[in-house]
Structure 1
Amino acid sequence: MKGMRGNFLTKLKLIPTKTKQGLILIQKSPTSPFFDDHKENNLSGSENNDEKQHFEEQEFNFKATPTTTIKSPSNTSPKVSCIKEFPSLNDFEEKCPPGGTKSIILYTTSLRGIRKTFQDCNTIRFLLRNLRILYHERDVSLHLEYREELWNVLGGKVIPPKLFIKGRYIGGADEVIGLHEMGWLGKILEGTPNVTSDCVCIGCANMGFTICSTCCGSCKIFTNNECFLRCHECNENGLVKCHICC
């Protein structure tokens, strides 16, 4: 029996001790009278409490840190982006389309070939109608001269929508929507004429154009010499401006 006990003690001494974060944990053995059964559980519990407290401190610091986000319209001019308060019309670039010195002009398109462009035009139109602003819409797809006007004013081939207020270029869909989200669009439009009624024009249904009565929209006139001539009353689409609302 003494030999067996000596061999057991020798093997017990050869068992390597486990270390965890700098703490030496004694292996549990039936012959160790000083071993506490709850020691390992207490150590692991204290480590869990420390780790939990550490994460709680990080979460508290994250919540306590204030974050401020400033929403601004994309592709805005440097003059507008540096303004802390709401801008005025004088802060925008002076570019006036024909007949737009004292009015609001919106260049749009009714073609649905490019969905995003068509939806952007509807969005700006919807904003102006909700604000009950009196504006003049110029559809570049119905009248070629409107497209040439827009390209000449902005100095390049651009796509609608483009908004002009009293000879000042406001921008496209991104700029106008950004101003509206900040609450600046309504302040910029203060003092502009408002829509007094929602009546639809009986001549063109607010389209601004009617079918040419001379050529019936065919752009051709039949002469006595049995030949066709180009109609000079209508545009390239066989349309003329409405004589009631335009």
Structure 2
Amino acid sequence: MKGIMRGRFVRKLKLMPTITNFKQQGLVLHLNTTTTPDVFCIQKLPTPPPTYDDHNHKGNNLAELEANDDHDHFEEEKEEELEEATTKKTLKLGEQKLETKITTCSIECPSLNDFKEMCPPGGRHTIILYTTSLRGIRKTFQDCNTVRFLLRSFKIMYHERDVSLHLEYREELWKILGGKVIPPKLFIKGKYIGGADEVVGLHEMGWLGKFLEGTPTHSTDHCTCIGCANMRFSICSNCCGSCKVFKAKGDNNHELFLRCPDCNENGLVKCPICC
């Protein structure tokens, strides 16, 4: 009987709350001395603020700051490398341009004696340009205009020979150069200079003007020829450009068509005023 009572007492004793349980539940046990002594009161503590580990939090912030610093440092290094590469590239281009200028300046200007002697008829002391006025091939026509414009820009006197207006000029040019060539072709004082590419190249190097020194020039008010409009040719007055003339044959007054002896294949004659 005593054992049973003892077991019940132990179980009730275990069910009674302890101070540890009160603390876990946010309760406080204190003695109320104001009213009745030896009376215990239980009060609930206010909810404590959430706790965290200051050390871990500071560590995380420090890690983030270090990561940001590393990123900014990487970006700065990248920008510095890019600026350095750009500067090196600019300096390299400048050095190349300087070397090109030095090389260009170091090359001596050639003289007319360096060119091959191929003197067209009447061109020992003059400038002769073979051109064409036909526009069938656009590049050829534009090249002729280019060389003509360069020569006119120096305001020099030169002789232009249009191979499309006079067949003898074409045969003459082919005979000089030893084959069928396409104008423009420039000859200066009996020296063959070349075509449009060679003439333009010499002009860009500043050498064409030196080759033309001592050449007679004309004034800016150089007028246009009233006979041929500076075309160097005019229509034949004997056949009126038809290349045919009539001639009587025998006593029957029969007329025959004969080739005009005065004009060329195009019914043109050299201008008697400017040629």
Query: In which range does the TM-score fall when normalised by the shorter chain?
Result: 0.7 to 0.9
SS of match in other structure, 1:50: helix
Gaps of 5+ in 2: 1-53, 249-253
Counterpart for residue 106 of structure 1: 129
Q: Does structure 1 residue 231 correspond to structure 2 residue 260?
A: yes
2:192, 2:110 → 1: CA distance? Answer: 13
Greater shift in the superposed pair: 41-50 or 196-205: 196-205
Q: 2:116 is matched with which residue?
A: 93
The match for 1:62 is: 89
Identify the residue that residue 232 of structure 2 maps to in structure 1: 208
Point out which structure has higher relative CO (alpha carbons under 8 A, 6+ apart): 1
Q: CA deviation at 1:227?
A: 2.6
Correspondent of 2:141 among 118, 121, 124: 118
Q: How far 1:223 moved relative to its partner?
A: 2.2
> 2:42 matched to which residue of 1?
none
| d(CA) in 2 for partners of 1:156, 1:41 | 78
- Structure 2 SS opposite 1:105: strand
Match status 1:44 vs 2:71: yes
Mapped pair 1:189 → 2:212:
yes
* Whole-angstrom CA distance in 1 between matches of 2:245 and 2:82: 84
Identity of aligned residues (%): 64
Q: Give, as a single letter, the amino acid of the residue that structure 2 aligns with 1:122.
A: N
1:155 aligns with 2:178: yes
Look up the match of 2:168. Answer: 145
Distance change >3 Å, CA 215–CA 134, structure 1 → 2: same
Query: What count of residue pairs does the alignment treat as equivalent?
Result: 207
* Higher-Rg member (1/2): 2
| 2:132 alignment partner AA | T
Q: Does the alignment pair 1:178 with 2:201?
A: yes
- TM-score w.r.t. structure 1 length? 0.78
1:145 shift after superposition: 0.6
Superposed CA RMSD in Å reads 2.1
Runs in 1 of length 4+ with deviation above 6 angstroms?
A: none
Partner residue of 2:245? 221
